[in-house]
Homo-oligomer: A and B are copies of this chain.
Amino acid sequence: MPLLVMKFGGTSVADLARIENAAKKVQREVERGYDVIVIVSAMSGKTNELVGWVETTSKLYDAREYDAVVSSGENVTAGLMALRLQEMGVPARSWQGWQVPINTTSAHSAARFVDIPRANIDAKFAEGFKVAVVAGFQGVSPEGRITTLGRGGSDTTAVAFAAAFGAERCDIYTDVDGIYTTDPRITSKARKLKKIAFEEMLELASLGAKVLQTRSVELAMRYKVRLRVLSSFEDTDENSGTLVCDEDEIMESKVVSGIAYSRDEAKITLVTVEDRPGIAAAIFGPLAEAGVNVDMIVQNISEKDYDDHPGAVTDMTFSCPINQVARARKAMEDAKAAGLINYDDLAVDEDVAKVSVVGIGMRSHAGVAAKMFRALSAENVNIKVIATSEIKISVLIDRKYMELAVQALHDAFDLHKAG
């Protein structure tokens, strides 16, 4: 029997009417001949309520108790979904993480999958059950305690089940109808993609197109799980939404698939840093320890030579989320005070944004960077930092030009035209 995984997020199961709506989508797949594993989130708002109670009760809470409390929302949805399906005549039962069991590490609130043995659920399918409704976001540790995967973990649960059960596809039902070439709020020319490669989705997800958890896409890529993102609130069929898949499945791929952006960036420059082996480690070690998510890094290979700096010196620039600037500054000042690094000045620019063009086609096409820079230049957008990867080029620019830049790049790469 072919098998599908279907995942419904919090807004898709926000109340009994929406649970019924989701159940109908499951029923349709059963009627098409699939066995279905449904992964559910908590009804929207429930997890936040539980988290609020935990945090009010204990600031430095025991993560094991946090997990025990916070996981309960998914259990409720799973039971209600199973009941609704039964009511429609679809043989279904709910599964909590420990019942499957979904074996994870003991890293509470940030657990990782160890394995998901198929035996229990397979036995139920063999008995004639058509649907296993599994509580997302949770698992069980080797010590028999309830674990959670961190917020948004239900996407990851869905992909893990799709991998473990060899599902034909993993459908992620959410409140958007697919992945777009860029944010439709920025340009109305944004177009829904039929397909996108895992690598592209990873770059788009981590850059702000927050439809899928990055971790779930990584897992899907590793196990080649075909992911589909589609809307809970529309009539959907086998062609709806966007398929996130291996690049081999994308015949007609364009050079650039999408334009991502991130509004809340800051640029920090350490001015006149001693240029010696190990200096990068001396700077970025303390930043990592302080929990600063450093993104772009540029070292200006300058030839400064002041009287008071007899050796070679350089400027080191990096970007991080704007709300981590204070933490970054403190980490650098502490490192300077401890004599680990030295610099003349720490310059912060909090008025920057990042814009990126993403596409697996770049690998085989030269000239993407040049085209990007030309398009920005034509709009008089000054580029402050550039960083490139195999399938992405990112630039840091003044925040006030961000929307203009996204629009200009969307036009320049003809993204409004179907691939």
Q: How far is it, in angstroms, between the C-alpha of A54 and the C-alpha of B84 when the chains are bound? A: 9
A109 to chain B, nearest CB (A): 13
Structural contact, B61 and A83, CB atoms closer than 8 A: yes
A135 to chain B, nearest CB (A): 9
Q: Which of A69, A72, A83 has the most CB of B within 10 A?
A: A83
**A53 at interface by CB-CB < 8 Å:** yes
Number of copies: 2
> Beyond A57-B16, A87-B57, is A82–B98 a contact (Cβ under 8 Å)?
no
Task: Note all chain B residues with C-beta closer than 8 A to A78.
Answer: 68
Task: Note all chain B residues with C-beta closer than 8 A to A98.
Answer: 98
Task: Note all chain B residues with C-beta closer than 8 A to A72.
Answer: 72-73, 75-76
Q: How far is it, in angstroms, between the C-alpha of A76 and the C-alpha of B75 when the chains are bound? A: 12
**A382 at interface by CB-CB < 8 Å:** no
| Contact among B86, B99, B145 with A62 in the assembled complex (CB-CB below 8 Å) | B86
Interface of A is mostly: helix
Structural contact, A65 and B53, CB atoms closer than 8 A: no
| Contact among B53, B64, B93, B96 with A80 in the assembled complex (CB-CB below 8 Å) | B53
Q: How far is it, in angstroms, between the C-alpha of A70 and the C-alpha of B56 when the chains are bound? A: 24
Q: How far is it, in angstroms, between the C-alpha of A84 and the C-alpha of B59 when the chains are bound? A: 10
**A19 at interface by CB-CB < 8 Å:** yes
Total interface residues on A, CB under 8 Å, equals: 36
Task: Note all chain B residues with C-beta closer than 8 A to A56.
Answer: 16
A293 to chain B, nearest CB (A): 29
Task: Note all chain B residues with C-beta closer than 8 A to A61.
Answer: 83, 86
Task: Note all chain B residues with C-beta closer than 8 A to A54.
Answer: 79-80, 83
Structural contact, B65 and A69, CB atoms closer than 8 A: no
**A106 at interface by CB-CB < 8 Å:** no
A20 to chain B, nearest CB (A): 8
The chain B residue sitting closest to A54, CB to CB, is B83
Q: Which of A61, A69, A73, A78 has the most CB of B within 10 A?
A: A69
**A144 at interface by CB-CB < 8 Å:** yes
**A58 at interface by CB-CB < 8 Å:** yes
Structural contact, A57 and B80, CB atoms closer than 8 A: yes
Q: How far is it, in angstroms, between the C-alpha of A64 and the C-alpha of B96 when the chains are bound? A: 12
Structural contact, A82 and B53, CB atoms closer than 8 A: no
A332 to chain B, nearest CB (A): 35
Q: How far is it, in angstroms, between the C-alpha of A75 and the C-alpha of B138 when the chains are bound? A: 14
30 CB < 8 A contacts A-B: A16-B53, A16-B56, A16-B57, A20-B57, A50-B76, A54-B79, A54-B80, A57-B83, A57-B84, A58-B83, A58-B86, A61-B86, A62-B93, A64-B93, A65-B79, A65-B82, A65-B83, A65-B94, A66-B79, A66-B83, A68-B75, A68-B78, A68-B94, A69-B79, A69-B83, A72-B75, A72-B76, A75-B75, A98-B98, A99-B144
Residues of A within 8 A of B (CB): 16, 19-20, 50, 53-54, 56-58, 61-62, 64-66, 68-69, 72-73, 75-76, 78-80, 82-84, 86-87, 93-94, 96, 98-99, 144-146
Ranked 3 nearest A-B pairs via Cβ: A69-B79, A68-B79, A58-B83
